[in-house]
Amino acid sequence: MDMSKQTAPEAAIQGRPKTLDETRAWMKARLASRTHPMNALDAEEGIALIDHLPGLDGESWSAYWMQHGQVVYRQAQEALSQEDTATASRLFMKASGLYFMGRFPCPDHPGKARSAELERESYLQAARLWDVPARRIAIPFAGRADEGREVVVLLRTPPGVERPPVVVMWGGVDAWKEQMTQACEALLALGIATVAMDNAGTGESPVRGVPDAERQFATVFDWVEAQSDLDGSRMACLGRSFGGYWATKLALLYPDRLRGAVNWGGGAHHMFQPEWIGASRYPDSYLMGLVETRCRMLGARNDEEYLAFFKRLSLLDQGLLDRRSAPLLLVNGREDRQCPIEDLYLLCSHGSPKHVRLFPGGHMGLTPQTLPTIVAWLAERVGATGDAK
């Protein structure tokens, strides 16, 4: 995606792509802090893997990570054949993390697409062996002619809890349902069932990030409410990074259906304007390929479509901001360069009062207190009793 062809002065590009050496340094810093996306790698082995990265192009990047993933996947299969399920599960997850790196940030190359398939496969192999396993469920979806026919979710239910409340969650443009594991674990420990799905235009989502992509999320809400072993009347949602945008929109569209919604680092209006798109082209908080990943999510084929498709997502322009909303928690870092803090102020200036929590740092405000704060808020909203066994 060549933003240099964009003639609008307000879309002027700031910054530049990271070099290979800069990429390695960025990855090592994130590895040390165990921060996405580097928390997918083994903390001790990750440094050597990063040091030997051959390049950043799709071919060499995907081949490198898949090569290492395949070695670990075979080790997991061997452990499973010996009925060592604990080791097998751990190794399948390790392989999934390597495959995740192979498709990161999005499968815009055949090698990355294959790595994404292997990531899902190895993740499910691991998830079936957990004490609280994940079940893959394909929910029928009434998509349009150019859309899919199912929404795939991963369901986990806390043992010993009859008809638990539910949190439906999704990630942003590069973190998919398989990257929601940490949030799932924290909620399950409080007796809350979790439904992880892919954000619109990512993973196995049947739709692109079109203005009415809330259809896929509403389909999942319908399914939750129809399950006799889940309490759909105590349902909330969590959207991280770009996915926070959809959590906000759903809170505005379904104020009586959701007990609460969390926008963890997502935009509302300013994020989708040409001047911010240019300014956030190469944010320090992102590894590589942010615009390319957003374009794939939107279904945009060129610069003009990218700007136009992004702009039509504005909740202000859609006339939604003054609506009554479900309880809404807005979370972000004060110095975010992927999503402007002005969107948080805008949301607080319209409609129902909002809950807000700002953390130090950049995108999503990633601190040791961030996820626990979100989980505690959600648990209170859905009335979790914390009696999971």
Four-residue CA torsion sign, 237, 243, 244, 246: negative
Q: What confidence tens digit (pLDDT) does each residue in 287-303 have?
A: 999 999 999 999 999 98
Which uninterrupted H or E stretch holds 135? strand 135-140
- Percentage of the chain beyond pLDDT 90 is 90
Q: What confidence tens digit (pLDDT) does each residue in 66-80 have?
A: 999 999 999 999 999
Q: What confidence tens digit (pLDDT) does each residue in 234-244 have?
A: 999 999 999 99
* Mean pLDDT to the nearest integer, 26-47: 94
For the stretch 293-297, contacts whose Cβ atoms lie closer than 8 Å and that sit 24 or more positions apart, written own/partner, are 293/105, 293/106, 293/108, 293/173, 293/174, 294/173, 294/242, 295/1, 296/106, 296/108, 296/201, 297/106, 297/173, 297/199, 297/200, 297/201, 297/202, 297/208, 297/209, 297/242
3-state secondary structure of 277: helix
Torsion of CA 189, 191, 197, 199, to 10 degrees: -80
Residue showing tokens 């010996």 = 82
Q: What confidence tens digit (pLDDT) does each residue in 157-183 have?
A: 999 999 999 999 999 999 999 999 999
Is residue 191 within 8 Å of residue 138, measured between CB atoms?
A: no
What's the confidence (pLDDT) of residue 264? 98
Q: What confidence tens digit (pLDDT) does each residue in 359-384 have?
A: 999 999 999 999 999 999 999 999 99
What's the confidence (pLDDT) of residue 5? 39
3-state secondary structure of 247: helix
